[in-house]
Amino acid sequence: MKKIQKYIISYELHNKRLCKLRIKGKYNNITLINAYAPTEDKTEEIKKQFYDDLQSMVDKVPKSDLTIILGDVNAKLGKEPAYQKITGKYTLHEETNGNGELLCDFAAANNMIVMSTQFQHKQIHKGTWRLPDHNIINQIDHVLVNQNMKETIEDVRSLRGPSIDSDHFLLKTTLKQKLPNTYKRKTTP
């Protein structure tokens, strides 16, 4: 635990739905924002307040940080061409629900991309939540990252093996940090 603590710059609990962890990186710092969005049946006012709070947190992140938003955003993302630049084409669902539209609008406004739907995996590795007492599986947990740093994320997939005492599956995100372009040496061939 002490090995990890020395890399933590700050932790902020915004409310019961949002928290932020800032970690020291080798070349640039990483800001992780964990989100638990309102479900589809909540009022528009509650959803608007959530995205206003999320926007407030994103606005406070230094521009040089790699910003990653992750968590249960209760958003089904479909294969509609209008959202494909943000969502990619490897989604579990055919149609985007209302929460998915809100997430896509937020991502577009903040120049972000949904990485959890960018990688080709078997259907079993896309689902993140099992409807209680049913065999219906949805992809509602997602990972968003700055558009200009999307190469940092190498893979995102769900893990069905670990027992975590939840109706959600773990979402594994593999990332790497690269040397920013401004620091690369220019060599002549």
**Predicted pLDDT of residue 74:** 87
**Predicted pLDDT of residue 146:** 93
Q: Phi and psi for 103 in degrees, rounded to 5?
A: -65, -45
CATH topology of domain 2-183: Deoxyribonuclease I; Chain A (3.60.10)
CA distance 53 to 47: 10
**Predicted pLDDT of residue 59:** 96
The whole-model pTM stands at 0.83
Q: Are 2 and 17 in contact (CB under 8 A)?
A: no
Q: Sorting pLDDT into bands at 50, 70 and 90, what band is 182?
A: very low
Contacts 24+ apart (CB under 8 A), 58-66: 58/33, 58/110, 61/20, 61/31, 61/33, 62/29, 62/31, 64/28, 64/29, 65/22, 65/28, 65/29, 65/30, 65/31, 66/25, 66/28, 66/29, 66/30, 66/31, 66/145, 66/146, 66/149, 66/152, 66/177
Q: Sorting pLDDT into bands at 50, 70 and 90, what band is 180?
A: very low
Q: Rg of the chain over CA atoms, in angstroms? A: 17
Condensed to tens digits (0 to 9), the pLDDT of residues 45-63 reads 999 999 999 999 999 999 9
| Residue 163 in this model has a pLDDT that exceeds 80 | no
